[in-house]
Structure 1
Amino acid sequence: MSTFTPNDLRKGLAALRWPLRLTWAGMLAETVVQSFWPLMTVVLLTLAALMLGLQDSVMVEVVWSVAVVAALAGLWSIYYAVRRFRIPSRADAMARLDASLPGRPIQALLDDAAIGSGDEASMAVWRAHKARMAARAAAAKPVPADLRVAKRDPYALRFVAVLAFAVALLFGSIWRVGSVADMAPGAGGLATGPVWEGWAEPPRYTGRPTLYLNDLPAGALELPKGTLITLRFYGDVGALTLAETVSGRPAEGTDASAPAQDFTVLQEGIIAVEGPNGREWAVAVRPDAAPEVEIVGEPEVAALGEMRLPFAARDDYGVEAGEARISLDLVSVDRRYGLTIDPEPRPEIVVPLSMPISGNRAEFEENLIDDFSKHPWANLPVTLRLSVLDAAEQQGESEAMELSLPGRRFFDPAAAAVIEMRRDLLWSRANAPRMAQVLRTVAYRGEDVLRTETTALRLQRLIERLELRARYGIDDEVQEDIAEDLWGLAIELEEGVLADALERLRRAQERLEAAMRNGASDEEIAELMDELRRATEEYLRQLQRQQAQQQQQQGQDGQQQQQQGDSMQMTQDDLQRMMDRIQELMEQGRMAEAMEALRQLQEMMENMRVTQGQQGQGQQSPGQQAMEGLADTLRQQQGLSDQAFRDLQEQFNPGANAGESQGNEGRNGGEGRGQSHEGQQGQGQGEGQRQGQGQQGQGAEPGSAEDLADRQRALRNELRRQEGRLPGQGTPEGDAARDALGRAGRAMDGAEDALRQGDLAEAIDNQSQAMEALREGMRALGEAMAQEQQNQQPGQGTAESDRRADNRDPLGREQGNNGADSSDGPLAMGPGGAGRARELLDEIRRRSGETERPEVERDYLNRLLDRF
């Protein structure tokens, strides 16, 4: 039987000593906060107002009125505190602590048995009860104080007071509190002496704070140029005077004893407040340098005339705005033909410079991008100057740049003639009679020059209007109107409004040939080459539709034999290879060979028939061919990425035996496993990829970064060919596949650039992005093929698609020859592929946790884990 003695009671109460004391302290803090928060609010608000100097900014009457209100509020808050403040007793603390425990054990320990004291059994029960209560009391913890006064302060005035006091501590001064004493009756300037205050406010664009001069000791003081000095003198007029030499204003024209003094710091000198409590500073001016701007490169001109001019600007505080001014260099103009007469006066071309939207404008680089093709000075010598302005309205200019104002180039002779006449009209209206004669010469036998009767009729109407206006005078509005019509006519002659795909293809070939013959820039040739690719794709689609219609109307066998005897056969891959060869020759500067190859392409296109494979004979559809080609490209890109990763490993761990582990792709990044790690040429696809690079890979050492870059470029060209023959154009799925392949191509370009610069980590990131985009493109292409099969009418399915459909399991997966799930699909989407993916992820996680590996390698592995 348990016993509970008085000694046990004392021990139990002793264990409550500290919880009881802390609970009492919390109750004391609670009653202090709840009683004195109004007084604290009044005191903090009053101190904040005085430290911020608000009493010096208003009239004395207002100050005394606020003082009376503050005093009344203080008296009321003291009365409020006296009524509510009570020091808590020990019994109160014990009662609160006891209430926080279950069963109020402290009170039970202090109780005595009322009855049954003579019964030993009853007392045994009583002692057992006290023992349980002592165990509960031993677990007592201090009761936290309730400091919330939100019910008594619903408008949070106490927080407003604390915030105002914090602002006063940061931006005010404790010395300003004493200035309120000067406003007492009988405490004028004669009793306490004169008082002054001063502020130095730098220009806002410098970002520097305002200085309170009363807090600054006498001595050296550095201020930005343009700083506004404000001084206020209080007391008898003349007791305090100002002496300064920083503003540059004449001393005889100013009143040194005026109560209000305002001036701007423009030069070095002194600022002195002379008189009682005066002070003097030697001011050093921090100059505000003028902004600077310079042209950092030659202008880049696109094929359609858009100019991109890089420039750099800087300023010590930041550039606010800028502009480019372009003026005609009349001395350098070739004054022939329509330019022999004096030009009509035209203002300079003023173009605003682009500024960074965000970030620091103290130093930046931007591009001036604009199209001046329609301006009369296009392709004429001009002088270009850039100028920038800072917040102080200081201006900086660049050195003058002499150049020919970039504009669109026209390769069609008739279009070039029309543009030249437009320039002559805008040069001077006096050229109108000569222009009409030249345009009539262009319109003579227009069927040999102009491609459509509509264009010829439009040119004839322009000539008649020009002759009529030249006879009666041309005003500004008519001049601009005719110039706009001439521009539209030139664009129509250059690009045409051709609806026929073959005619559009011929026009693209002619424009490209003219550009090569006239020495166009690389950017213009690249853009015209892209236009030729688009026109070829459109022509191929039209030719395919025409052949399909002919095969439906006539017997396929007889028609096929007739076409085979009368025309050439060429696949889309052959066309893409020919165009890639032309582009490669142009990039190498072999223009004569490129023009010859272009003429051969043109002759082939005249008589060619595109072969798509005969249905029912085991050949694949275009979608299946594209899918297999993309899968092959993905495997090759994976091989290149593996090799780049091995090279990155060897940079930080030269002794690693990469290439010897199971499943290693090898140093050469080939498709076959187990290839040599020392850079030997493997067999299979890796070798085939090298052979397909042409001349670009001949000079690079096998396995080097340059060799990797050449192989990456060859893979990019292969993707461009595949993108050109991708089916499903015009459908959402087909457009999504093309967008994904476009992203893959841009990532491949970035990988090639990084490889040539030796940045393997950046190249691997770009290759990873390219592979992800290829996967998205293949998924979208698969959806496009499925949608196309759903849209086919009964009887239109191919034998190959029927065979593949029969070879699928109930889940839609392709089966191997033995009935097992196949892994020959584009991405090996079967269980084996999932298991392989898990193995790769586990291996990456294991390697990322090995601390002995280089930091760069582990960072790359962590990025792979984040991505996948």
Structure 2
Amino acid sequence: MSSFTPNDLRDAMAKLRWPLRLTRAGMLAETLVRAVWPLMTVVLLVLAALMLGLQDAVAVEVVWAAAVLAALAALWELVFALRRFRFPSRSAALERLDASLPGRPIQALLDDAAIGGDDTASLAVWRAHKARMAAKAAAADPVAADLRVADRDPYALRYVAVLAFAVALLFGSILRVGSVAGMAPSSAGLANGPVWEGWAEPPRYTGRPTLYLNDLTEAELELPKGTLITLRFYGDVGALALAETVSGRSAEVSTATAPAQDFAVVQEGRIGIEGPGGRAWNVTVRPDDPPQVDLLGPAKVSALGEMRLPFAARDDYGVEAGEARIILDLAAVERRYGLQADPADRAQIVVALPTPIAGNRAAFEENLIEDFSKHPWANLPVKLTLSVLDAAEQQGETAPQDMILPGRRFFNPSAAALIEMRRDLLWATTNAPRAAQVLRAVSYRPEDVFSSATSALRLKRIIEKLELRTRYGLDEDITDELAEDLWGLALELEEGVLADALERLRRAQERLQEAMKNGASDEEIAELMDELRRATEEYMQQLQRQQAQERAQGEDGDQQQGDSMQMTQDDLQRMMDRIQELMEQGRMAEAAEALQQLQEMMENMRVTEGQPGQGGKSPGEQAMEGLAETLNEQQGLSDQAFRDLQEQFNPNAQVGESDGNEGRNGGQGRGESHEGQNGQGEGSGEQRGERGEGGSEGPRSSEEGLAERQRALRDELNRQQGRLPGQGTPEGNAAREALDRAGRAMDEAEQALRNRDLADAIDNQAQAMEALREGMRSLGEAMAQEQQNQQPGQGQAEADRRADNRDPLGRDQSNSGESSSDGPLNLGQGDGGARARELLDEIRRRSGETARPDVERDYLNRLLERF
């Protein structure tokens, strides 16, 4: 049984020394906060007001009154603090610390046994109890102070004071507190005579600081226009007087001696304070130039009618706002048909100009983007005026610009007729009978105009409503309602609501043909071409699903296969690329003919996922084969660039100097001349045509040809990236990132070729090939991940096809991009092994020739290290 002695009690209390001190300090902080928070609130509010200079913005009498109220409040708060403040005692701190512990062990340590003092067993139990209490007390932690005074400050005035003081620290100055001293009545000041103070506060938008006139020693003063001058005269009234010619006010002798003077600088002149200690300044006004705005070019219009108008605005201090005003140019309107009537009174179009949300507005360029397709003036002559405003409310504007108000163009004849009648109805309500008559003529044979009975019924209801309202009079609300109905029906006819992919494809083709006939803009044609691509992809997907169902059901699929045309997605993509290229070159007749051919082919087409005879291939296999072909072509370009680099340093090379020469066309013409002459082998006819029939064009022509081929290869890679499967998977994303790197390397290689820097071009081409291999490897992993859910044996045919792929050095190169330059050379028997040994021997021989340039030898050594 353990015993507890007085020494143990002293030791236990000694361990409580620091927890007790910290608890007592927290209690002191609580008492101070609860006692002085009202006083600190008043002090912080007064300091914030003085640091912000509020005393300079009001009359002296207001400052005195505020000072008296602040002093009374501070005195009352000081009395309140003294009455509430009590220094915490040690016993109170010990009590709080004990209350934070379970069982109140400290009180137990200080207690004595009330009974059983003569009983040894009772004393032993009591000592054991104290030992346990001592152990609990030793684990005591300081009690945190409770500084919350929300119950005493329900309106959070203390936080208001802290916030005001923080604002004063950011935007005020502690030096401005001293200005209040001069406002207090002083016998010394009166003895020294009258005094004055003055401030010059430029407009806030100029960003210039306020000047204290008493500190200025120069007689010349340059101020922005609109600067506010504030003067205060102290002492006997009339001892000091103001004389100024900068405000434009008429001279008033009765107010020249007033104690408070406030006026704005609007012109050059003089400011003088006459009397004891007076001063004078010659003021030069810094002009505030009006803002300026300019159009940067004509408005660009999208296929859907959205206008993008570039403009630039500038001002010496910053543009505050701007607007575009559009009015109808009635004199330029061709007054025919529904436009013969006098137009209804319609307000001008006013649109706010966009301004930068952040940053400097002194000079900026923006685009006004609006859609006026629904406005009655759409596609009619108007006059456009841009105007901007600065902080001084000065305005700058452009001269009225003549333009056609952009609006959506409707290529469907029925939709265009509805839009024209809508415009006539909004132009003047007197056109209502004629509009109803024309609409009835349009809908005379609805089966020839509308693709659905719903559209015909909608137009019929609109005509009936228009005729009924015309009989009883059209108001503005009914006119707007009819115009909205006509707009919705026209959009339905133009865009269609059919779910069938083939109908959408035909509609997209017709809209593109109509746009080319009507001379649409490049932006409109580009958007319609994108719509055709999307419709074609949707139709191809629907056709693929239909064929898959036919193969699963086994219903006369072979017969349909033989009766219809087979096309791959690559074939369609190439045809549409050709159509877009013809349109960009302005060859609209050829583009229309090619579009017609595409339309005829799509009418009776059967899509295939692979080449004929290879069986069906998944999109991943198609992408893999396309990337493998791109890699081989890039390898050929790199070989040709290396051959040209050799020719630069060895111009005397002859035809067939090395039997292993692959030629300029990347492995398709062995033995071709280094200078572009045709050798004994089989050359590329296309390249012969580029160089001429009998000779070469020189190095510059060769490098330009390489650059063009590199650019074509980059375009092909872009097309393949758009059809890459595995979207959203980690492997698919990795493949896309790798192909992005390959594309950037190809761009740099093309630029290097145009700059005749073959060494740099070869390095970039090597990076492109490495990125292509990495992308193919990631794509292969994505395909393998998908094949895990397939039945066994489905990937066997793919593995067989990849096994036959070999690179020029005889190494295995799978479609997934594995091996190739990272794999071992095939130095065994056969054509591949012999070819690899010949190349290595030739590289070693040339790297050992000291007469060769250092750049070529460095490249050859890198090849040896790599292979």
Place the TM-score, normalised by the shorter chain, in its bin. 0.5 to 0.7
Mapped pair 1:506 → 2:506: yes
**Residue in 2 aligned with 1:445?**
445
**Residue in 1 aligned with 2:207?**
207
* Contact 2:811/2:824, CA 8 A, preserved across alignment: no
* Contact 2:224/2:285, CA 8 A, preserved across alignment: yes
| Cα separation, 2, equivalents of 1:800 and 1:614 | 15
Deviation at 1:576, TM superposition (A): 1.5
Q: 1:596 aligns with which of 593, 596, 619?
A: 593
The one-letter code of the counterpart of 1:301 is V
TM-score by length of 2: 0.65
SS in structure 2 at match of 1:209: coil
* Contact 2:306/2:372, CA 8 A, preserved across alignment: yes
* Contact 2:711/2:747, CA 8 A, preserved across alignment: no
* Contact 1:47/1:177, CA 8 A, preserved across alignment: no
* Offset from partner CA, 1:690-710 (integer Å, 9 cap, x none): 89999xxx9998569976774
Mapped pair 1:785 → 2:779: no
**Residue in 1 aligned with 2:563?**
566
Deviation at 1:476, TM superposition (A): 2.0
**Residue in 2 aligned with 1:424?**
424
Deviation at 1:639, TM superposition (A): 9.1
Structural mapping, 1:92-131, within 5 Å: none
| Cα separation, 1, equivalents of 2:519 and 2:349 | 28
SS in structure 2 at match of 1:251: coil
SS in structure 2 at match of 1:512: helix
| Cα separation, 2, equivalents of 1:677 and 1:369 | 58
Structural mapping, 1:145-224, within 5 Å: 172=175, 183-185=185-187, 187-189=188-190, 191-224=191-224
Residues 569 and 493 of structure 1: CA distance in aligned 2, closer, same or farther (over 3 Å): same
* Contact 1:634/1:774, CA 8 A, preserved across alignment: yes
SS in structure 2 at match of 1:379: coil
**Residue in 2 aligned with 1:147?**
none
Structural mapping, 1:677-716, within 5 Å: 710-711=708-709, 713-716=711-714
| Cα separation, 1, equivalents of 2:241 and 2:574 | 90
SS in structure 1 at match of 2:252: helix
**Residue in 1 aligned with 2:608?**
611
Residues 54 and 573 of structure 1: CA distance in aligned 2, closer, same or farther (over 3 Å): closer
Moved more, 707-716 or 199-208: 707-716
**Residue in 1 aligned with 2:114?**
none
| Cα separation, 1, equivalents of 2:574 and 2:425 | 46
| Cα separation, 1, equivalents of 2:289 and 2:466 | 55
The one-letter code of the counterpart of 2:475 is D
SS in structure 1 at match of 2:406: coil
The one-letter code of the counterpart of 1:339 is L
Deviation at 1:789, TM superposition (A): 2.4
Structural mapping, 1:321-360, within 5 Å: 321-360=321-360
The one-letter code of the counterpart of 1:574 is D
* Contact 1:616/1:800, CA 8 A, preserved across alignment: no
* Contact 1:668/1:703, CA 8 A, preserved across alignment: no
Mapped pair 1:581 → 2:578: yes
Residues 503 and 620 of structure 1: CA distance in aligned 2, closer, same or farther (over 3 Å): closer
**Residue in 2 aligned with 1:436?**
436
| Cα separation, 2, equivalents of 1:242 and 1:546 | 96
SS in structure 1 at match of 2:368: strand
* Contact 1:701/1:707, CA 8 A, preserved across alignment: no
| Cα separation, 2, equivalents of 1:290 and 1:188 | 47
Moved more, 289-298 or 767-776: 767-776
| Cα separation, 2, equivalents of 1:790 and 1:608 | 33
Q: What RMSD, in angstroms, separates the aligned Cα atoms of the two structures? A: 5.5
**Residue in 2 aligned with 1:59?**
64
| Cα separation, 1, equivalents of 2:627 and 2:781 | 15
Residues 689 and 823 of structure 1: CA distance in aligned 2, closer, same or farther (over 3 Å): farther
| Cα separation, 1, equivalents of 2:470 and 2:286 | 63
Residues 771 and 802 of structure 1: CA distance in aligned 2, closer, same or farther (over 3 Å): closer
**Residue in 2 aligned with 1:623?**
620
**Residue in 2 aligned with 1:377?**
377
* Contact 2:567/2:605, CA 8 A, preserved across alignment: yes
* Offset from partner CA, 1:445-479 (integer Å, 9 cap, x none): 12222122222222222222222222222222222
* Contact 1:51/1:176, CA 8 A, preserved across alignment: no
| Cα separation, 2, equivalents of 1:497 and 1:531 | 15
* Offset from partner CA, 1:86-108 (integer Å, 9 cap, x none): xxxxxxxxxxxxxxxxxxxxxxx
Deviation at 1:785, TM superposition (A): 2.9
| Cα separation, 2, equivalents of 1:755 and 1:382 | 50
Q: 1:832 aligns with which of 822, 825, 829?
A: 822
How many correspondences in the alignment? 665
| Cα separation, 1, equivalents of 2:369 and 2:348 | 17
The one-letter code of the counterpart of 1:397 is E
* Contact 1:743/1:770, CA 8 A, preserved across alignment: no
Deviation at 1:669, TM superposition (A): 12
Residues 443 and 314 of structure 1: CA distance in aligned 2, closer, same or farther (over 3 Å): same
* Contact 1:378/1:406, CA 8 A, preserved across alignment: yes
* Contact 1:194/1:240, CA 8 A, preserved across alignment: yes
Structural mapping, 1:719-738, within 5 Å: 719-723=717-721, 725-727=723-725
SS in structure 2 at match of 1:422: helix
Structure 1, unaligned runs of 5 or more: 1-45, 74-162, 650-654, 661-665, 808-813, 836-868
Structure 2, unaligned runs of 5 or more: 1-45, 79-165, 654-661, 826-867
Deviation at 1:748, TM superposition (A): 9.6
Moved more, 530-539 or 562-571: 562-571
* Offset from partner CA, 1:602-643 (integer Å, 9 cap, x none): 111112222334899577543122123235446767998999
Residues 681 and 288 of structure 1: CA distance in aligned 2, closer, same or farther (over 3 Å): farther
* Offset from partner CA, 1:618-676 (integer Å, 9 cap, x none): 775431221232354467679989999999x9xxxxx9999x9xxxxx9999799x999
Structural mapping, 1:647-666, within 5 Å: none
Residues 719 and 831 of structure 1: CA distance in aligned 2, closer, same or farther (over 3 Å): closer
Residues 535 and 780 of structure 1: CA distance in aligned 2, closer, same or farther (over 3 Å): farther
| Cα separation, 1, equivalents of 2:743 and 2:323 | 33
Residues 52 and 387 of structure 1: CA distance in aligned 2, closer, same or farther (over 3 Å): closer
| Cα separation, 1, equivalents of 2:799 and 2:218 | 98
* Contact 1:198/1:231, CA 8 A, preserved across alignment: yes
* Contact 1:293/1:396, CA 8 A, preserved across alignment: yes
| Cα separation, 1, equivalents of 2:664 and 2:288 | 59
Residues 733 and 568 of structure 1: CA distance in aligned 2, closer, same or farther (over 3 Å): farther
Deviation at 1:59, TM superposition (A): 3.2
SS in structure 2 at match of 1:351: strand
| Cα separation, 2, equivalents of 1:436 and 1:700 | 72
Residues 831 and 676 of structure 1: CA distance in aligned 2, closer, same or farther (over 3 Å): closer
Deviation at 1:443, TM superposition (A): 1.0
SS in structure 2 at match of 1:519: coil
Mapped pair 1:288 → 2:288: yes
Deviation at 1:64, TM superposition (A): 14
SS in structure 1 at match of 2:528: helix
* Offset from partner CA, 1:555-587 (integer Å, 9 cap, x none): 7xx743x34542222222222211111111111
The one-letter code of the counterpart of 1:582 is I
Mapped pair 1:521 → 2:521: yes
The one-letter code of the counterpart of 1:606 is E
The one-letter code of the counterpart of 1:367 is N
Structural mapping, 1:191-340, within 5 Å: 191-252=191-252, 255-340=255-340
* Contact 2:53/2:172, CA 8 A, preserved across alignment: no
| Cα separation, 1, equivalents of 2:353 and 2:766 | 38
Residues 692 and 578 of structure 1: CA distance in aligned 2, closer, same or farther (over 3 Å): farther
* Contact 2:323/2:386, CA 8 A, preserved across alignment: yes
TM-score by length of 1: 0.65
| Cα separation, 1, equivalents of 2:697 and 2:520 | 28
Deviation at 1:200, TM superposition (A): 0.4
Residues 65 and 682 of structure 1: CA distance in aligned 2, closer, same or farther (over 3 Å): farther
| Cα separation, 2, equivalents of 1:486 and 1:754 | 53
SS in structure 2 at match of 1:271: strand
SS in structure 1 at match of 2:379: coil
Residues 359 and 296 of structure 1: CA distance in aligned 2, closer, same or farther (over 3 Å): same
